[in-house]
Structure 1
Amino acid sequence: MQDNHPQRETPAGKSMGKGMLIVAWVIALGLLTTFFAGWEGRQYNPNTNIQGQVQSNVREVVLESNRQHHYVATGLINGEEVVFLLDTGASDVVVPAQLAGKLGLKRGNAGYAQTANGIVQVFRTQLDTLDLGVIHLKDVRASINPGMSGNEVLLGMSALRHVEFTQRGTRLTLRQYGP
């Protein structure tokens, strides 16, 4: 049987052009994904690089609220970077158990806490240091919550009672007085 339709060969340049076009699209999609992931992250946490100022004996940090009107900020616990969600309704700084393990926090006595999800068992712990920009706190009481998921730390009143805070519009100003 004779083939009346001889196969046409694609010129090498044409197939290479298609390959380059595919590579260009993959790179463009990767760059767009990276850009929008960063943008989305900044929308959730607009305070990733907190600046602050120190004047005399006053340390001041200004936080911007996110789109959900929450104050989320990057800070440090015992020198390790964490993401804080300010929660004036929380008595303590509350750390998810998974993150507490990574931070090397020791579980102390068990207790119970009233949360939005009901009563949960928590474990007492102590933070050697807690830093939020230029604000530095030492020996902060905290709780480890095994029922809490994620890596977000609730910045509760055991830390916030050491600072003065004022809200105006979408900004929250935190001031720490003293040396």
Structure 2
Amino acid sequence: MESTEPVKQQKRMGLGMMVLAWLTLLGLGALFFGDVLERQFNPNQQLETRLAADGVREVVLQRNRFGHYVTSGEINGKPVTFMLDTGATGVAIPDAVAKRLGVPRGRPYRTQTANGTAVSYAAVLDSVAVGDIELNNVSAGIAPGMGIDQVLLGMSFLKHIEFTQRGDTLILRQLLPAS
């Protein structure tokens, strides 16, 4: 009678290889679809800045599938994700993001949010940039109650920028200082 042990080993090895193949396929699928979802949320991850003939810097943003303008940018030279919010008075930074960026809390003050009154902390950002559009000494608030990872890019930044919306496109324009 022949031994069935080699056949059992081959079956176990085949099963192990099949499990490994499925795990690899699932891992690659998760990476691919995670990236697809991130691009749907933030379609403006790779920004290009145009320098117009009239001496204006322009950055073109695309609206995301949820109807918001979300873009990659920088605060004090460190990467962040901005959600443009013309209804926000200032730049609102979630507490966790402020800690990651090393932005210190200033004096506390009361703010009115969609969820009611909250306490925020004053801050001044050395620099805020979207593409090559950059402003210095921008007023901001650190908001401990914000449960998101995006920084709301409010009017303390946007009031210095000309912006025009056409369809699903938002064009940000910054005049260059006269030399």
TM-score over 0.5 for the alignment? Answer: yes
1:22 is paired with a residue whose SS is: helix
1:1-179 mapped onto 2 (5 Å cutoff): 8-11=4-7, 12-56=9-53, 57-179=55-177
RMSD over aligned Cα atoms: 1.5
Q: Give the percent of matched residue pairs that are identical in Structure 1 and Structure 2.
A: 47
With the length of structure 2 as denominator, give the TM-score of the two structures: 0.92
2:40 is paired with a residue whose SS is: helix
Q: Which segments of structure 1 move beyond 6 Å, counting only runs of 4 or more?
A: none
With the length of structure 1 as denominator, give the TM-score of the two structures: 0.92
Unaligned segments of structure 2, at least 5 residues: none
**2:28 partner amino acid:** L
2:87 is paired with a residue whose SS is: coil
Deviations 1:148-169 (A, max 9, x none): 1232100000000010111111
Name the CA distance, whole Å, in 2 between partners of 1:7 and 1:145.
71
Rg larger in structure? 1
**1:35 partner amino acid:** F
Q: 1:54 touches 1:134 (CA, 8 Å); kept in 2? A: no
1:32 is paired with a residue whose SS is: helix
Unaligned segments of structure 1, at least 5 residues: 1-5
**1:43 partner amino acid:** Q
Deviations 1:79-99 (A, max 9, x none): 110000000000000001121
